[in-house]
Amino acid sequence: MPTRTPMPRTRQPARGAHQTPARAAIDHAAARQTLGDLTDAYQWAVYARTLAHHGTSAAEQLDAAVLLAPLAALIGHADQAFTTYRDLVDLATAALGASHERTLHARAGLAAAHHRIGRCEQAIRDLADVYTTAERRHGPEASATLKALTQLACLYRDCGSPDISKRCLTVAATIAARYLTIGDPLRTQISDIARMPASENHRAVCTQLTPSWPVPATSLAA
Ligand SMILES: [Zn+2]
């Protein structure tokens, strides 16, 4: 899977005396994540989500879910990541609309969560819909479009469809070369992903019916 950039949080005014406990916990979780302490950040994100869930601020509920969903995936809580991404999609759709870039980002995260627990067909179908929605609404060169297409290539590759994966990456690289400057992080990420092998870990959970993974080097040597 590509390294996913964090979904941007709602812009907030400077900290002050009126900061709610949920917002303080969200900020603290984000700070711990920035420092690289993922376990601590995860625990604070769980706490923030509980506080936000009992509050009335839709922005805080959204931001708490934005923080917790990828952290749960990173820590290895695949089922919690799935349910949090599912809630995040609902919150983002209600607050921003179905084709807003943040909602599309959340939907791409939910597709990855499906894929992580072996719901491969659903993941690919949902992500393909994110891609076509992003392309239609934001254009082929938009970050949301290129990220969805690149992620789709990774899903196909991990599910044993390298030819379709290569076609997706070729389209993404062509668009990136046309619209993005050399050195643009997204353009660099697309070329990096083109050189990456399929995820060995995914094979244990993959449910695609006709995979054609490359023969491992160890088998060739036997
Ligand atoms: Zn799969």
pLDDT tens digits along 138-178 = 999 999 999 999 999 999 999 999 999 999 999 999 999 99
Average pLDDT, the chain: 88
How remote is the CA of residue 165 from the centroid of ligand 1, in Å? 13
Q: Are 190 and 173 in contact (CB under 8 A)?
A: yes
Using DSSP's 3-state secondary structure scheme, residue 211 falls into coil
Q: Are 182 and 142 in contact (CB under 8 A)?
A: no
Separation of alpha carbons 29 and 35, rounded Å: 10
Percent of the chain with pLDDT over 90: 79
How remote is the CA of residue 90 from the centroid of ligand 1, in Å? 25
HSE-CB of 108 using CA atoms within 13 angstroms: 32
pLDDT tens digits along 118-132 = 999 999 999 999 999
HSE-CB of 216 using CA atoms within 13 angstroms: 6
Looking at residue 142, its pLDDT comes to 95
How remote is the CA of residue 188 from the centroid of ligand 1, in Å? 25
Looking at residue 199, its pLDDT comes to 87
Q: Is 201 exposed, middle or buried (0-12, 13-18, 19+ CB in 10 A)?
A: exposed
Which band of pLDDT confidence, cut at 50, 70 and 90, is reported for residue 24? very high
How remote is the CA of residue 158 from the centroid of ligand 1, in Å? 6
How remote is the CA of residue 9 from the centroid of ligand 1, in Å? 30
pLDDT tens digits along 79-113 = 999 999 999 999 999 999 999 999 999 999 999 99
How remote is the CA of residue 126 from the centroid of ligand 1, in Å? 14
Q: Which amino acid is at 44?
A: W
∠195-132-157 over CA atoms, to 5°?
25
